[in-house]
Structure 1
Amino acid sequence: MTTPATRSRALALLTTIALLGLAGCSDPAAEAEEATAPSASASSSSAFNLSPDQDRIGSEVSAEAAALVPEAVKEDGKLTVATSAYVPPLTSFATDNTTLIGNEPDIASALADALGLELELVNSAWADWPLGLESGKYEAVISNVTVTEERKEKFDFATYRNDELGFYAAADSDITEIEEAADVAGRSIIVGSGTNQEAILLAWDQENQDNGLEPVDFQYYDDDSASSLALQTGRADLSFGPNATGAYKAATTGDTKLVGLVNGGWPLKAQIAVTTPRGDGLAEAAQAGINHLIDNGTYAGILQRWGLEEEAVETSELNPAGLPKQ
């Protein structure tokens, strides 16, 4: 059981990381190296369609959502969305090294359908999206952005995914379930240094040691090959990182399995959201559009297509409580 003292320590760790842009895996540049998912062009797996011919899951227009689209957005009939091509299955380049593919482009495409607009999808460096939104270069960002209280001062949010971290074990491991701190006691766990998941694991480890349980053996690797080898040979029991990339790797290689999920905002709740300029009204339309996609099954189909069913939301929320400022 999580104690008040443990929760305080965890919150202090997580809010510090949030200020650095790492909380909830919200910063692709910071998390991508640790996530170490195979690249789209390198994978030979048929688990995912990595070609430029995506045949994306479309949607009919939602009259309710379309009516909420601001006139300034309707004017050219397009929805300009920025995303960051950095790692599958979120956003990456197809085998032609040009076409943007993944869960985020699919969500953007289906949302544009629901709003009665044509999608204009733009690849943007992660660091550039806030200025791009504020300057009007983009009308929305769909790029694994976590809701935080600091970001809510400038932007509005319509949620479409829970921000989840995953514990993965070798496919033949006898480990079947990780649910709480006690489950990691005495385990050798691969984790990225300076990441949100490391902060959570440190808090869990401290709680275990306070309760007289064995400490976690923290293992750090510079590259994916060494990390994978450690897991397959038994030198490590588990890896702990962003679930999206862990799920993609498990599906493409078959070498690992999911044994536990922890929300990226633990002990709070972190959510990923469509991000729009504050007060321009587009977030309200996006929320209605996403709920339309949830109701008609398009949303579930997209997440299933990219192996992210575990991150599904029941309903889109408008500007929910975000990860706190320090």
Structure 2
Amino acid sequence: MSIAMVTAATVMGTAAGCSEGDSAAAPASNADGTTAVTVGAVSNGAATETTISVPQVAAIRAELPKEVLDGGALTIGIGALPAGSAPLAFVGTDQKTLTGSEPDLGRLVAGVLGLRAEITNATWDNLFVGIDSGRSDVGFSNVTVTEARKDKYDFASYRKDNLAFEVLESSSWNFDGNPDSLAGKTVSVSSGTNQEKILLEWRQQLQAKGKTFTVKYFPDSSAVALALQSGKIDTYFGPNPSIAYHIRQTASTPKPTRDAGTYSGAGQTLQGLIAATTKKGSGLVKPLADALNYLISNGQYSKWLAAWNLSNESVTSSQINPPGLPRTNS
């Protein structure tokens, strides 16, 4: 997970487990065994609110460990405290619902498994403590697969870990994967991030060819947005989800922005992946991957991504423990 340019939304709650209860996003179980999940509930425009129905799939449910099946709930860990990041996980306009792309996908997966979704919220570090201790069955929290993490956890991938370039909608520039296209541009990036590391490496490569581009830093996301609107920078390079969120925010403004191209957060030789995270050997990773693949094959997955403006991070299948960021880069 990279440091994002985000508009922070205060996340209420504690690290303790909390039931969906009567929150706006609580899935509704129907008499025919389907679950209706309201994706993007109370998201204040961060998503297009969409109701997605998923059936309980008996063959996948039968793969669950007995203790999870008997408990009747999938406890989903989110690492969004103290401040959530739209569009991934944040408190909605009702001041109680944990909304966002990550908890929504967890609710959809729970529906396929025929389980009640119970969302727990924690700090990033305590997300993993919760998985280690068994307080959470699985983390849906923008966790990047790394080789080091695979020592302790099993992963079922569900989204590309992408970086993106944001430009004004009026700009004709696009990033085609070749750093040479940045020559002569002024680019903003957040200091101390993975994307800064990649960007500075590209600048070194260009300088060896007698070319260069300018890198500018700003104190926060609002300053970056103003710099882009005023023409002080040509583009901002940051995490794709936060850029997707900002693009949605600017859509009805005088100077809307757009995505000018993506790049793997793992670099040129590996597509980084975001994955559901479970304790190694818990027996949950296969039913989770199978549930995700059911959603991918039957269209609910694409509707979920589209609702959150994240279709450019779609994968064709969920992989169990796919190649992760190498130990030297994770």
Say whether the fold is shared (TM-score over 0.5). yes
C-alpha distance in 2 between matches for 1:56 and 1:153: 37
C-alpha distance in 1 between matches for 2:42 and 2:249: 12
Amino acid corresponding to residue 260 of structure 2 in structure 1: V
Amino acid corresponding to residue 262 of structure 1 in structure 2: Y
1:106-121 paired onto structure 2 within 5 Å: 106-121=104-119
RMSD across aligned positions (CA): 1.9
Does the 8 Å contact 2:189/2:216 carry over to 1?
Answer: yes
Q: Where does residue 23 of structure 2 map in the other structure? A: none
Residue 38 of structure 1 deviates from its aligned partner by 6.0
Among candidates 271, 275, 278, match of residue 276 of structure 1: 278
Q: Where does residue 42 of structure 2 map in the other structure? A: 50
Q: Where does residue 261 of structure 2 map in the other structure? A: 260
Does the 8 Å contact 1:64/1:288 carry over to 2?
Answer: no
Does the 8 Å contact 2:150/2:321 carry over to 1?
Answer: yes
Does the 8 Å contact 2:79/2:125 carry over to 1?
Answer: no
Task: Specify the SS of the correspondent of 2:52.
Answer: coil
Does the 8 Å contact 1:178/1:184 carry over to 2?
Answer: no
Among candidates 131, 134, 140, match of residue 133 of structure 1: 131
1:177-188 paired onto structure 2 within 5 Å: 177-188=175-186
Q: Where does residue 154 of structure 2 map in the other structure? A: 156
Q: Normalising by structure 1, what TM-score?
A: 0.84
C-alpha distance in 1 between matches for 2:207 and 2:117: 52
Task: Specify the SS of the correspondent of 2:172.
Answer: coil
Mapped pair 1:62 → 2:32: no
Does the 8 Å contact 2:79/2:122 carry over to 1?
Answer: yes
C-alpha distance in 2 between matches for 1:204 and 1:64: 48
Deviates most, 273-282 or 166-175:
166-175
Does the 8 Å contact 1:51/1:96 carry over to 2?
Answer: no
C-alpha distance in 2 between matches for 1:50 and 1:237: 33
Task: Specify the SS of the correspondent of 2:158.
Answer: strand
C-alpha distance in 1 between matches for 2:185 and 2:240: 19
1:104-253 paired onto structure 2 within 5 Å: 104-213=102-211, 215-253=212-250
Mapped pair 1:101 → 2:96: no
Give the number of the structure with larger relative contact order, counting CA–CA contacts within 8 Å between residues 6 or more apart.
1
What is the aligned residue count?
Answer: 289
Residue 225 of structure 1 deviates from its aligned partner by 2.2
Task: Specify the SS of the correspondent of 1:231.
Answer: helix
Q: Percent same amino acid at aligned positions?
A: 39
C-alpha distance in 1 between matches for 2:300 and 2:193: 33
CA offsets 1:261-295 (integer angstroms, 9 cap, x no match)? 00100122210000000011101110000000011
C-alpha distance in 2 between matches for 1:114 and 1:36: 31
CA offsets 1:235-286 (integer angstroms, 9 cap, x no match)? 1000000010101110121221100100100122210000000011101110
C-alpha distance in 2 between matches for 1:56 and 1:132: 30
CA offsets 1:271-323 (integer angstroms, 9 cap, x no match)? 00000000111011100000000111111100000000000010000001110
Deviates most, 179-188 or 137-146:
179-188
Amino acid corresponding to residue 72 of structure 1 in structure 2: E
C-alpha distance in 2 between matches for 1:163 and 1:124: 22
Does the 8 Å contact 1:65/1:288 carry over to 2?
Answer: yes
Mapped pair 1:77 → 2:72: yes
C-alpha distance in 2 between matches for 1:146 and 1:260: 20
Instruction: Structure 2 unaligned segments of length 5 or more: list them.
Output: 12-39
C-alpha distance in 2 between matches for 1:49 and 1:259: 28
Residue 178 of structure 1 deviates from its aligned partner by 4.0
Amino acid corresponding to residue 314 of structure 1 in structure 2: T
